[in-house]
Each structure stands twice: as C-alpha cells, then as structure tokens.
Copies of this chain bind each other. A is one copy, B any other.
Amino acid sequence: MKPIGTVHTDALSVPNHWTVSDVEGTLIIDDFYREGLMGIEPGDRIVVIFHFHKSRPFTPQDLTQHPRGDVTREKRGVFDICSPVRPNPIGMSVLTVTGINEAIISVKGLDMLDGTVILDIKPYHG
C-alpha cells in the first residue's frame, strides 16, 4: 500500500460519518498521479479509500464495540459498524467534488481528519 495523497481541512473536528458531514477541504494528490484524475469533475461523487492513521491497534476485544463509542448503545460486530478500530485500518467515505485544479480536488462531506493518507479514489455508483 502506497499513499496517493493526503486530506487537508481546517476543521479541527469532523462528524463521525460522511452521511452527516458538510465539512469542506481538499484532497492533495501526489503530482505523479495527476493524469489518473482525468474525467473527475465538479458535482461528481467519489469514493475515497483511506488509512485510519490515528486509530489504536485492533485487539480481539474490539470484535464487538459500542457504536460511536456510546456505552448506552448495545455492542455490535466491528463489521456492522464504521468504527476506525478495525482489523485492517481502512476507511471509506463518499465525498462530493466541488472543484478540481491540477492535482488538488476540493471536496465537501469530509469525515476524515487533516493529514489522513489517501489510498484510492473510485467513481461512486449509488
């Protein structure tokens, strides 16, 4: 796995999930990959695969977790929730492209922290 770019945002905190996020920011893609962005346009929705770089390591105790860390909610399997503490620390968000300039993609809907490493971008099929 190699980084293809990083997430940048001024937001100091982000919502738990992209479905409830209006946070804006940019995806700064390494110049080597610029040609790979050809065809991505404002208004597109994109799937971004990223590394949960701030998550603690997964242990067997994390196989079930309280959703969103809320202890009043019943524990569920890690594969039934979006917790960042997972066997493989891979995240996925669907973002809306608001602009693109060379290898910098402006996006809306961020639930990733500033500095998050991006592993892949795919077109979104709803």
Residues of A whose CB lies within 8 Å of any CB of B are 1-2, 4, 17, 19, 32-33, 35-40, 46-47, 49, 60, 63-64, 75-82, 86-88, 90, 92, 119-123, 125-126
Contacts and interface: CB of A to CB of B under 8 A. Distances in A.
A33 B119 contact: no
Taking the full assembly, how many copies of this chain does it contain? Answer: 2
A82 B80 CA distance: 25
Of all A-B residue pairs in the complex, the 9 with the closest CB atoms, nearest first, are A39-B80, A38-B77, A79-B121, A35-B63, A39-B76, A36-B78, A36-B77, A36-B63, A36-B79
5 contacts: A35-B77, A37-B77, A49-B88, A90-B120, A92-B92
Given A49-B92, A82-B123, A92-B122, 18 more contacts: A2-B87, A2-B88, A32-B60, A35-B63, A35-B64, A36-B63, A36-B80, A37-B80, A38-B64, A38-B75, A38-B76, A39-B76, A39-B80, A40-B79, A40-B80, A80-B123, A81-B123, A92-B92
